[in-house]
A and B are shown apart, each in its own frame.
Chain A
């Protein structure tokens, strides 16, 4: 078992911080969340309380091109030292984070907050890898990794060289972990994320959808060795988008559910040896002229996907009783691999994930 003391210490650190998830919640509600593959975030970190100087201090810098100039003729300056100051015990720093890394960072906070389970390490070989990172943080204080194969041998050599005795104490001498590679077998998923971007989608709804997608990523990343992901946005028409575009699309237009469903069906073609997932987000306020076609497409699509999650993102004030939401609920009742969730708050995310973990036979095995 791999015990990551860095992550345990990080957990201890983050427990002392309040609102660290709140900071990120604001980011996921921004329409243009991803720019050039990066997310700009404010990172909050605790520092040991020490006295500081009350005024700005001189700093050593590198990268001067002029001589003694008054801030002129300078290129990018690398600050080599100096006090940072700060207005409280915790300090903030702005960081441009790679989107993938942002997701991983946020997932941990989300899972904690929503009280969702952690998964074992990514599936490899015939079954899951039998080692996994320690995520049971109550087990702090355990010694870090022992690699008896490698380091004890060295401990024997050292003990013999120094004391002429062949002895080793694993508690002292063994601390290094060497991972043994295993043969990898591919378990593949095709995940299609379909988002209604008609005019009624608010920033808080957008935030909820994104949070739910990050949670879905987490569980499906742990379930499959290869995750093929496709993204569709639709209003009157449906368009295939890249992931970054999907997370930076603004709302406009009316709702034609059938366009989104049909596009998903098209994209799923040819992925025969994949488990296919459809995650559909809409307020289900479909144009009445489209209801019949949408219903027909929904029944067709139900046969083509391994698991489908139909998520109603209607405003908390509205009831989920539009004609198309009623149709969707009926379809979900008739098919065990289709779930229907109303996403008014983070509780809805939890419900959708629990449905995925309990209803989908493949994920259930995790």
Chain B
């Protein structure tokens, strides 16, 4: 640790000399299991739910089958808390620390991250206490089921979080405002809303944040690595997930064309949609060997690649059901939902939709009507959910 401390100080000085700035960064060595645990929950102390168990299982199996290794886990908090895996070699830890300074700089300077709650680690811990109290009062199953429903709806509505106009018609926010809730349900709504918004920023800035961190690794480690170490480093970088590579190549290209100052500006004011939309070129697509697979066909045109990334960023590959209104009838209120098909984006209605509607019904507590509009904006189908999903003839 003492040796690492020396590198930490050198990297810190070099990062500041390049114009990076950040809150205090607290490095810790943690076991792979501790890191896996935090990665599964997203925060070190978050409420217990099976969904985090599924994530833990996935990470556990992926790591143990050699498909991945988590080198570090860094939290957007003040101070920034970075856990380094005890399994890392000294060289890997140096790489990881440079990477972490990149993240810490984004957390401190990016306009999206500036809006986040830097005390979320503590807030999430408070949420644990609240939820445990509610479980004691209302039964574990009641609270767990309500949380499952809220998290499902939040996940399916996440694509509207970033667009104020869409947000108004977003199912999650509409239910937040108008669903009949008891006080403990409102409490759960607040918790899920707060945590979902916190994690939404991470998703919206993945290419930018990971790309910048990997780019800063390259910038900072130039002073430290021998030629052989560079080879190891390059291999390690190429094995990382797509957004790391794509983001880093974009920042390298910005530096080449516009200088490092422009990179600092982009990391401060852009998100994934903006950075990919503006800076991903055909040349970079070819260099990164990117393409979009449509069945057996692979298209490598930059416009198609950008559209696919934006599609993922805007919709997360989840069909977006929006709220059209509430229909009052005979003392009951029917929630009116709509799905607008886009080309090639039909809704699966036989298996997943009934499961999802059950979740919405648990929150709304009354009937739900779902209208499906085809690409020509004509109403093509209507479903009613009153405990069972039925197609109206």
Contacts and interface: CB of A to CB of B under 8 A. Distances in A.
Given A55-B346, A141-B132, A5 B48 contact: yes
B390 interface: no
A154 B66 CA distance: 35
B300 A67 contact: yes
A177 B129 CA distance: 20
A4 B32 CA distance: 12
A183 interface: no
Contacts of A199: none
A95 B348 CA distance: 27
9 contacts: A4-B33, A7-B56, A13-B57, A46-B54, A50-B156, A53-B348, A60-B308, A97-B65, A154-B26
B52 to A, nearest CB: 4
Interface in A117-144: 140-141, 143-144
Contact of A4 (B37, B292, B345): B37
Interface stretch (B175-183, B225-233, B252-260, B316-324): B316-324
A6 B40 CA distance: 7
Interface in A26-65: 38, 43, 45-65
A53 B346 contact: yes
B211 to A, nearest CB: 13
Contacts of B286: 67
B57 A51 contact: no
Contact of B347 (A46, A51, A87): A51
Interface of A: 4-16, 38, 43, 45-65, 67-71, 74, 77-83, 85-89, 95-98, 101, 105, 140-141, 143-144, 154, 158, 171-173, 175-177, 179
Interface string B253-297: 000000000000000000000000000000000101111111111
A51 B296 contact: no
Nearest to A97: B65
A60 B292 contact: yes
A364 B318 CA distance: 54
B188 to A, nearest CB: 15
A101 B132 CA distance: 33
Contacts of A98: 64-66
A348 B340 CA distance: 59
B317 A95 contact: no
A10 B53 contact: yes
Interface of B: 26, 28, 30-31, 33-34, 36-37, 40-41, 44-45, 48-54, 56-58, 60-62, 64-67, 79, 121-122, 125-126, 128-129, 132, 135, 144, 148, 151-152, 155-156, 241-243, 245, 286, 288-301, 305, 308-309, 312, 317-319, 321, 339, 344-349, 351-353, 355-356, 358-359
A336 to B, nearest CB: 39
Nearest to B37: A6
B45 A68 contact: no
A231 B142 CA distance: 51
The B interface is mostly helix, strand or loop, or mixed, namely: helix
A50 B318 contact: yes
A78 B239 CA distance: 10
Nearest to B245: A62
B53 A11 contact: yes
A74 B290 CA distance: 11
Contact of A82 (B26, B37, B317): B317
Contact of B44 (A77, A86, A144): A144
A87 B351 CA distance: 7
B57 A59 contact: no
B346 A78 contact: no
Contacts of A63: 289
Contacts of A59: 292-293, 308
A175 B348 contact: no
A51 B87 CA distance: 39
Contacts of B67: 95
A143 B152 contact: no
Which residue of A54, A69, A101 has the most chain B CB atoms within 10 A of its CB atom? A54
